[in-house]
Amino acid sequence: MAAGWPTKVSYADGDVFSAANINDTNGTINYIDPTSATDKQVLTRDAASGGKVKWADSPANTLTATGDLYYASAANTPARLAIGSTNQVLTVAGGVPTWAAGSSTFTKIGSTVTFSNVASQTFDNVFSSTYSSYWINIEYIYLATAGGSLQLQLRYAGPTTQISGYYSNSFNMPYTGANASTQVNGGAQTILQSNTNASGNSIGAGNFWFYGVNGVSKDPYYTGSIVNSAAASSVLFNGGTSGTARTYTGFLLKGATNITGSVSVYGVS
Amino acid sequence: MTKQIGIYDFETDQQIVRDMTPEEIAEHELGVELDIQLQQEAVSKEAERDALLSKLGITADEAKLLLG
């Protein structure tokens, strides 16, 4: 067929119509076999073949999974970026978008742990190399009997509780009266708070940090503060160590009497 | 009453509460004993301070002023 618009196609008995009958050499129009496409492809202009049309991938058949993102891997080149993992953020590497761990993020680990009237509460399999440090948020905590201490121990593989060699100092600062420090020098546990409240109606809350529990063997550090409204005091938990280098995996809270509370753990990277 | 321990596993996100083993009870008692000891020391320090203030004939607030 000559170049230009086909103006007329005549059939005679026995004629077989083919792409060659309609494709023109100028690329003005060409025949595309619909059955040669894959599902959800679209027709697009093909500059490389003189402007004829061709089947090409569409967003619908490029984005094949939930969460996929559509982006250009090069100029005029659509591509798919699969969804990242939980808590990853979208960043740029090599000029294209990519998922990566967030920098300096605060990530809640697991669920908030609530416990009621137990002698001890463990938090196991929480420390790992994923985070460089951990923030422990005590939303509330109280003892069965007022006045006793709130104690901390570390846990390692087993899990086993570290029951010796703790060093710490917690500084109890009442709103009136003298301040007092509680020292632990190689003891069986660290004292977070020497005078813990007993009533669930009064706020006993605070937070502390763990450092050096990032999946490698270290003697970790911890520091924080707690407020005890029932005893009208605040406690500066001025830090301590376990005294023993280990790969610690978790921790344990306990009291002089049974404890009730709600605690969340956050990883910081 | 049997002492109980709450165990929260962050790998499974599950909390279980069970009776403490004899070994866990023994470990727990160490903490209780230490607590009693610390409280006795605090009471003892308080008594010593009160006795000293009484000897000096000043109040706790006046002592604070002296110590700056």
Does the residue A126 lie in any domain?
yes
B53 in contact with A, Cβ within 8 Å: no
Cβ contact (<8 Å) for B27 and A163? yes
Q: Which residues of A touch B7 (CB under 8 A)?
A: 121-122, 124
The half-sphere exposure of A123 on its side-chain side, counting CA atoms within 13 A, is 30
Residue A139: left if φ>0, alpha if ψ -120 to 50, beta else—which one? Answer: alpha
Cβ contact (<8 Å) for A187 and B5? no
Mean of the pLDDT values across residues A55-68? 93
Tell me the nearest-neighbour CA distance from A256 into chain B, angstroms.
5
Give the total number of structural domains in chain A. 2
| Domain residue limits at A46 | 19-99
Does the residue A68 lie in any domain?
yes
CA-CA-CA-CA torsion for B30, B33, B35, B40, nearest 10 degrees?
A: -160
Cβ contact (<8 Å) for B9 and A125? yes
A89 lies in the same domain as A200? no
* β-pair type (A166-174, A180-187): antiparallel
Cβ contact (<8 Å) for B8 and A110? yes
Mean of the pLDDT values across residues A58-81? 94
Per-residue model confidence as pLDDT tens digits over A4-45: 545 556 667 777 766 666 665 554 556 777 788 899 999 888
Give the total number of structural domains in chain B. 1
A41 lies in the same domain as A150? no
Residue A198 tokens, joined = 């007993």
Mean of the pLDDT values across residues B61-67? 82
pLDDT range class, residue B5, cuts 50, 70, 90: very high
Per-residue model confidence as pLDDT tens digits over A92-126: 999 999 998 776 678 899 999 999 999 999 999 99
Cβ contact (<8 Å) for B15 and A115? yes
A123 lies in the same domain as A198? yes
pLDDT at A30: 66
The half-sphere exposure of A236 on its side-chain side, counting CA atoms within 13 A, is 7
Q: Which residues of B touch A258 (CB under 8 A)?
A: 3
Chain A residues 104-163 with CB within 8 Å of chain B: 109-111, 113-115, 117-126, 147-149, 151, 161, 163
pLDDT at A261: 93
B6 in contact with A, Cβ within 8 Å: yes
Does the residue A9 lie in any domain?
no
Residue B20 has pLDDT above 50, yes or no: yes
A116 lies in the same domain as A95? no
Residue B42 has pLDDT above 70, yes or no: yes
> How large is the ipTM?
0.76
End position of a domain, from candidates A48, A71, A99: A99
A173 lies in the same domain as A229? yes
pLDDT at A29: 59
pLDDT at A119: 95
Give the rounded percent of residues in chain B with a pLDDT score beyond 90: 40
Residue A239 has pLDDT above 50, yes or no: yes
| Domain residue limits at B57 | 22-67
Q: Which helix (H) or strand (E) holds A226?
A: strand A221-228
End position of a domain, from candidates A72, A99, A126: A99
A151 lies in the same domain as A203? yes
Cβ contact (<8 Å) for A147 and B13? no
Of A19-28, A235-244, B39-48, the one with minimum mean pLDDT is A19-28
Residue A89 has pLDDT above 60, yes or no: yes
